[in-house]
Amino acid sequence: MKQRNILTIVFTLFCVATIMAQNVDNEKTGILLVHYGTSNDKSRAQTIDKLNSRVAETFPDCAVVEAYSAPSVIKTLAKRGIKKLYISQALDSLKALGCNKLVVQSTMLLDGVMTE
């Protein structure tokens, strides 16, 4: 329940920031969701993937791109054929999509422990 409340707060703050960013006409807005990341497929499907989908559904006029901030998670997933972008790669992707406004939302609000 606590995790759901935190996700609701994050999503609400995110909505407000995005609405503010979209007030300028003739500019394409990109949304960059920055996650620490996880190599646990079940956890990722239940949290990160759902959040990404919800943001994309809520803001269909925006380009939504995710990035992971943990190089170790990106490398672990790459070994399994799952590609996740570093923050710099995600920014390049949004630029290539023609975004000239950007909203960056970090989802790293919960304490966590990285296990090897």
Going edge to edge, which strands form the sheet with 29-35?
Answer: 63-68, 29-35, 101-106
Give the mean model confidence (pLDDT) for residues 70-96. 97
Residue 13 has pLDDT above 60, yes or no: yes
Provide the number of structural domains found in the chain.
1
- Do 85 and 35 meet the contact criterion of CB atoms below 8 Å apart? no
7: domain CATH number?
Answer: 3.40.50.1400
In this prediction, residue 107 carries a pLDDT of: 87
**Rounded distance between C-alpha atoms, residue 46 and residue 41, angstroms:** 9
Predicted confidence (pLDDT) per residue in 38-74, tens digit: 999 999 999 899 999 999 999 999 999 999 999 999 9
Residue 6 has pLDDT above 90, yes or no: no
Let me know if residue 113 belongs to a domain: no
In this prediction, residue 54 carries a pLDDT of: 92
Residues in the chain: 116
Give the mean model confidence (pLDDT) for residues 24-40. 87
Let me know if residue 84 belongs to a domain: yes
